[in-house]
Amino acid sequence: MLIELKDVNKTYNNGQPLHVLKGINLGIDKGEFVSIMGASGSGKSTLLNILGILDNYDTGEYYIDGRLIKGLTERQAADYRNRMIGFIFQSFNLIGFKTAVENVELPLFYQGVPRAKRHQMAMEFLDRLGLADWAKHYPNEMSGGQKQRVAIARALITNPKIILADEPTGALDSKTSEEVMQLLGKLNREEGVTIIVVTHESGVANCTDKIVHIKDGIIGQIEDNREHRASVFGTSTIMK
């Protein structure tokens, strides 16, 4: 198991205590393409935060590749995020005053990779995603699909163990959404990247091989979706 969650609980104490995750047990293998689906308020965002080491959990255990992720200092957490997890965000989260290639370089900068080396690597990744010509452009000069591909390049560059995608198509039109999901699927199939997509759209979830349903802080049904027939709106398109 690459990822293992054992009875993970999380309560927010903002005035009224809110028990968001009520004992999550989940295992994800290396090379899987999984989606976590749930309505807003189901606890999927909190689960994503914990999976991404962006937030702490109260009780239970969380292992990545056999390493217990608990009680980390901020520095350790930053280091683990940097080396083990690649993030893809709904709003792309590229840094606006940096060019595409500089954005892709950033995780390597925090690893202390020398300037020339990281520039070369970033260019390679942009090239793989068909964005070599756009390397010197700023995010506001690119389309949504291009921005998300830059963000994917940034997530891939550190060769992380997991790619965590938070509503990766949330800000894209249906055509681009499909392209992005196909790209993720291709990365998963051809390069064996483990990808976890968090979404509330069934169409997006249908693109993945396994759908984990979460409701009221508890894991419900885990659906095998290798046939990609889960979408209630049909199998051929991502409905918006």
Contact positions vs other proteins (CB under 8 A): 45, 48-49, 52, 54-55, 74-75, 77-79, 81-83, 87, 89-91, 93, 95, 97-98, 106-107, 109-111, 115, 154, 158, 166
CB of 78 vs other proteins, minimal distance in Å: 5
Distance CA 199, CA 150 (A): 20
Closest of 37, 45, 61 to residue 215, by C-alpha: 37
Distance CA 84, CA 82 (A): 6
CB of 231 vs other proteins, minimal distance in Å: 25
Q: Which is nearer to other proteins, 156 or 184 (CB)?
A: 156
CB of 107 vs other proteins, minimal distance in Å: 5
Q: CB of 47 within 8 A of CB of 220?
A: no
Say which DSSP state 223 is in.
E
Cα 224 off chain centre by: 20
CB of 234 vs other proteins, minimal distance in Å: 29
Q: Which is nearer to other proteins, 98 or 215 (CB)?
A: 98
Closest of 168, 153, 179 to residue 201, by C-alpha: 168
Q: How many helices (H) and strands (E) does the chain have?
A: 7, 10
Instruction: Dump the DSSP string for 10-28.
Output: EEEEESEEEEEEEEEEEEE
CB of 20 vs other proteins, minimal distance in Å: 13
